[in-house]
Amino acid sequence: MALLKIARMGHPVLLQKAQPVEDVHSLTIRQLVSDMIETMLDSRGAGLAAPQVHKSLRLFVYHVPEPRCMAGEAPIPPRVLINPEITPLDDAVMECTEGCLSLPLLRGVVTRHAAVAYKGLDLDGTVISGEARGFHANVLQHEYDHLEGILYTMRMTDFASFGYAEEFAIPRDSEG
């Protein structure tokens, strides 16, 4: 396993729509996912999309650490979602204070869907699907945006809520 270099805001790979993963079973994809999980955990992030490590592919890794669980939510260990689809379950929204490993040390408030359905593939090529709420829904939407070439700052409507993490006193595990 290896720690991967994270692309920072301004790098063109972060603004491109990522390409579908053609061969889920390839050793290259398995190694990439393993390295991405190691990089995400080492960086104390909650998620990491392939474009953030200079790979324009439609996959991301994520987890929901216990400190970030909302009421009724259980921690989720690291997992991958390949060629994901994310759809809102209804019109309900929530405000999320987000960070991003590609914008280190910064935070901003973004409006997200409060509940989403997700579907994609795991490393075995098995279809996985479910519904997510709270922080889990937040992470899925944030990482999916990376696959579309969208940074959370592009979704912000009030830049008075944008600043350095230490000024907001938000745990670093909220980065994705």
Q: Is 148 a catalytic residue?
A: no
The residue from 95, 143, 148, 166 that is catalytic is 143
- Cα–Cα distances (Å) from 97 to 45, 94, 130, in that order, read 14, 10, 24
* 3-state DSSP assignment of residue 17: coil
Beta-carbon contacts of 17 under 8 Å, excluding residues fewer than 6 positions away, are: 147, 148, 149
* 3-state DSSP assignment of residue 82: strand
Q: What's at 45, amino acid-wise?
A: G
List, edge to edge, every strand of the sheet that includes 127-133. Answer: 47-49, 59-64, 76-88, 115-121, 127-133
**Secondary structure percentages of the chain, helix, strand, coil, to 5:** 30, 35, 35
Alpha helices in the chain (DSSP H): 27-42, 134-147, 165-168
Residues with active-site annotation: 143
